[in-house]
Chain A
């Protein structure tokens, strides 16, 4: 088994270590009953416990929306910012403090609509961030408006006769960006897979983009119902460099061996609509990582003063 492939058995070991999953939660999430965000929070807590991350050495940055309340519930530093703009803040933080583990949590409106410009460019900068797109196909906090990922024809308060455009496909879009280094998809109703995907994303050095399909019991209760009821509509992408978890093979009959290094196949699979696909679509550790390539040697205040004298010599009269 490769070091990245995850076994559910690993989770059992967590109990013996200093911090357990519950230590990473500060308060109960204030989401609606049945919201997929709870599952995402649980998976993240398990990851933090598994990695035994120090709460003061990590930061969760979010935008605005239901899912962006996430940092308030995690025992870590958090930045609950403005709509669509989590990525610039996270990038700046990572550049200033590369030793911190920085996670980004965004919703579909947040990331793929108002923050779409930042999403494209952060993907290209490829800073070492773990990025969760909690995609429930709808604007929830503002109460039921069409988002870019809302299925065509789906009715909302802003599209009472149904969304008029085909939904934007975040995987396809991310995979189209130069220097995209990690793109995966998972779903809140498959916790073992979500946990395994999160762990792979965390371990990847670079911009690890995970689209988490997330149920909204209020406004889009039925968008994922077919897949939830019938596991045969889902295909797992598996590979020795992918993610897997024991038990998943019993649940999902359809399994496709996909090498995450194969960008052409990744793009082809991302745009197909015949089945729902979960797994790592693409991963390449060799791409330039922004906070690494921009890192510079620290300079002491005294050295700076000496250097400034030389700069001023250029302008001396």
Chain B
């Protein structure tokens, strides 16, 4: 097919673009965006995609709450976050479009390819709502282009509901000059379990979209790509975590369905039995943790996967795992809270509860992957830490990483990433179940089946023999030994790296998934000559060493987080009453440095521009002090 634009078409070269496909729930936006994103990745562009998901499966159509869709940000360089507002959108109706407008998702001169059928629809209600929506959106300088999406789709299929998405894909393919042969392969792959006819029809729809765009649109965008040298993969954070669990040799994932964590278990359920393992869907979150703990007691390093409300239910079992020193890996894909909160949306609000939600002193390791690639590697790291230190490791990802799709370098697997065979050799004479090394707090893990190792583990205070013991000395010693292990683990960590200069006016500290957005914001500020650096933490308990020293090289330090904090100046809120962002609390306690924070909990990933504004604001306030 001739892919050259006609002579009236303006081709604009841009380094990157952000595109939205917005539809009613159930109209296939995900498939459209997945194929588009993968095509961009295969062509060598950097890509990040984000899902826009309602909490319900298929809410009433053509309403502002029915919006489902995807955002695809792609560019010549690596893309590390969802960026700022969208430059182009394909909208299947006025109401879903309006919902995005209200969220300020569109750039001021966003191009919106809009379904043409609603304006003159036979239903007066629909016409009125359409007119009102357009009126409301007229406050911005959007460029609306009416496209007969449904009409064109019906030329190929009987039910436009299952087809409009592929026509839309064709529009995007033409606007961004995507390689049709790659698209065809992606479609064939997505529908590989269906008849060949399905693939054919979908490809025909894409071609019709391309033809329509060529005939009717007078613009194109050119985003150069540099094909990668090393081999790469593209996936979301939950898929990466699931594959990481397999790479770590985990053979038990016990879980209970909860958004947005469940898709980890979907990926695992599909493949783990080929790897000697199983997914156990338990009767509740508590049992999922218990089954994982039981399997781990039996010698597996087990995984349980959950999100905030599930985490809350697992707390008693986590304390038991910590008290009995049985290794356990917990993946918490954070969502908005408290309570059921924002089930499908991102937040970083489980940091403090991950550290402190157990009664008593219950030291555990908490790590937060910063990218989709790290979601994979974190599983391997967590398994190793849990086993070596006989401890609980909590991995905190979030809905942004869970459903964001990004490419990364294909890992080179190593058998050493997997659990070593359990040592069932007879125990040395006199070895006790908790023969804590006084220096390190470490002791040998004795697994049932080991001759001569019989003992009863207990959640009650116990001595080295694992005998219930309430005497003061014994209890103090147990607490000390369980805590010591964390210090020993911390001694193996290196100080975090600083992005930007090693010293300056302001250091922005983040944790987990916000890395890409924060670094992009800091780049922007640095380009304007500001002395700003950033540092993204992965280890939250224990923390990486050297933080106080790093902080001392900057005039000001602030955290940027997706959670709630008070704003000084609001009613009743003073420097004394102010509640900080969760990382800020921890860092203040840990370093005694006066660390400020800027946090936000909009139920969506932070935008580089918002972070940039907060940095500017902080710098100005700092300078005026």
Contacts and interface: CB of A to CB of B under 8 A. Distances in A.
Interface of A: 26, 55-61, 71-72, 75-82, 85, 87-97, 99-100, 117-118, 120-121, 294, 296-299, 301-302, 304-305, 307-309, 311-312, 315-317
Most B CB within 10 A of own CB, among A26, A90, A121, A315? A315
A71 B456 contact: yes
B299 A97 contact: yes
Given A92-B302, A100-B448, A311 B415 contact: no
Contacts of B457: 78-80
B273 interface: yes
Given A77-B454, A80-B458, A88-B282, A93 B295 contact: yes
Contacts of A95: 252, 278, 280, 291, 294-295, 298
Contacts of B233: 312, 315-317
A88 B288 CA distance: 8
Contacts of B271: 307, 311
Nearest to B272: A296
Nearest to B326: A79
A121 B283 contact: yes
A77 B453 contact: yes
Contacts of B278: 95, 294, 296
Complex A-B, nearest 6 residue pairs according to Cβ-Cβ distance, in ascending order: A92-B294, A88-B290, A78-B456, A96-B298, A299-B276, A92-B291
Interface string B413-455: 1110010000000000000000000000000000011111111
Contact of A305 (B277, B287, B407, B413): B413
B391 interface: no
Interface residues of B, number: 70
Nearest to B276: A299
A193 B167 CA distance: 74
B246 interface: yes
A118 B297 contact: no
B162 interface: no
A89 B290 contact: yes
A124 to B, nearest CB: 9
24 contacts: A26-B454, A72-B458, A75-B454, A77-B448, A79-B294, A80-B458, A87-B290, A88-B291, A89-B293, A91-B280, A91-B291, A93-B448, A95-B280, A95-B295, A96-B294, A97-B449, A296-B273, A296-B277, A296-B278, A299-B275, A299-B276, A302-B415, A305-B414, A317-B233
Interface string B393-422: 000000000000001001101110010000
Contacts of A121: 282-283, 287
B292 interface: yes
B546 interface: no
A118 B456 contact: no
Nearest to A62: B456
Nearest to B240: A315
Given A75-B454, A121-B287, A311 B449 contact: no
Given A56-B453, A117-B283, A316-B233, A304 B249 contact: yes
Given A299-B276, A315-B234, 20 more contacts: A57-B448, A72-B467, A79-B457, A91-B287, A92-B252, A93-B294, A95-B278, A95-B295, A121-B282, A121-B283, A294-B278, A294-B280, A304-B247, A307-B246, A307-B274, A312-B233, A312-B410, A316-B232, A317-B232, A317-B234
Contacts of A85: 286-287, 290, 316-317
Given A79-B297, A85-B317, A117-B284, A96 B453 contact: no
Contacts of B407: 317
Most B CB within 10 A of own CB, among A75, A82, A304, A309? A304
B459 A80 contact: yes
B294 A88 contact: yes
B300 interface: yes
A56 B294 contact: no
Contacts of B448: 56-59, 77, 93, 97, 100
Given A79-B297, A121-B287, A315-B235, A56 B246 contact: no
B456 A80 contact: yes
Interface string B320-364: 100010000000000000000000000000000000000000000
B451 A56 contact: yes
B287 A82 contact: no
A180 to B, nearest CB: 15
Contacts of B453: 56, 77
Interface string B220-242: 00000000100111110001000
A88 B284 CA distance: 10
A141 to B, nearest CB: 12
A309 B274 CA distance: 13
A57 B467 CA distance: 20
B22 interface: no
Contact of B41 (A82, A294, A312, A317): A317
B451 to A, nearest CB: 5
